[in-house]
Amino acid sequence: MTESSDTPKFAICINRRFGSDRPSCGTRGSQNIADAIEAGVRERKINVMIERIVCFGMCNNGPNMRLIPGGAFHKDVSLDQVNELLSMLESECGQKDETDEIPAIPGT
Ligand code: FES
C-alpha cells in the first residue's frame, strides 16, 4: 500500500502565536512532539501521514492533534505521551506493507 489520498493523516498543530498573552501549540513544544511522532512513525512503519498544520482554533488547550478522518482531538499533549500516541496510530492505521518500499533503479 502506498501513501494516497486514502492514507489516514495525523494532523499536528505547530502554530506559533507570538506574544506572552497568546498561547499556542508551537510555543508549548508541538514542533518537538511532531518531530518525535514522525520519527516513531518511520521507525514503526505506521501507515499514516503526519501533517503539520496551523491552528485548530483551540489554542488555549495545545499542543493539539488529531487523526483524520474522524479521530478524537488529543489536547495538551506532551512528549511523554508520544509512545502512547504511536501505539494508538499503529492500532488505528496499521503498518505499511513491506512492498511499499520504492525499488532501486536497475543499474544505479
Ligand atoms: S495554535 Fe494550535 S490550535 Fe491554535
CATH of residue 54's domain is 3.40.30.10
Question: What would the grid cell of residue 98 be?
Answer: 513491506
* Helix, strand, or coil (residue 38): helix
Q: Is 31 inside a domain boundary?
A: yes
**Closest among 63, 61, 101, 58 to 82, alpha carbons compared:** 63
Q: Give the pLDDT score at 53.
A: 97
Ligand 1: lining residues by beta carbon, under 6 Å: 13, 15, 17, 24-25, 55-59, 62, 64
Query: Contact at 8 Å (CB) between 12 and 1?
Result: no
Q: Name the residue range of residue 41's domain.
A: 9-94
Q: Give the pLDDT score at 21.
A: 79
Closest protein CA for atom 1 of ligand 1: 24
Q: Is 36 inside a domain boundary?
A: yes
Q: How many domains does the chain have?
A: 1
Strand partners, 68: 9
Write down how long the chain is. 108
Q: Is 52 inside a domain boundary?
A: yes
Q: Give the pLDDT score at 18.
A: 79
- pTM value surpassing 0.75: yes
Q: Is 4 inside a domain boundary?
A: no
Mark the ranges of the chain whose per-residue pLDDT is less than 50.
1
Question: What would the grid cell of residue 61 be?
Answer: 488547550
Mutate to test the pocket of ligand 1, among 56, 76, 77 (most ligand atoms within 8 A of CB): 56
- Point out the ligand 1 atom lying closest to the alpha carbon of residue 15: 1
Q: Is 106 inside a domain boundary?
A: no
Q: Is 103 inside a domain boundary?
A: no
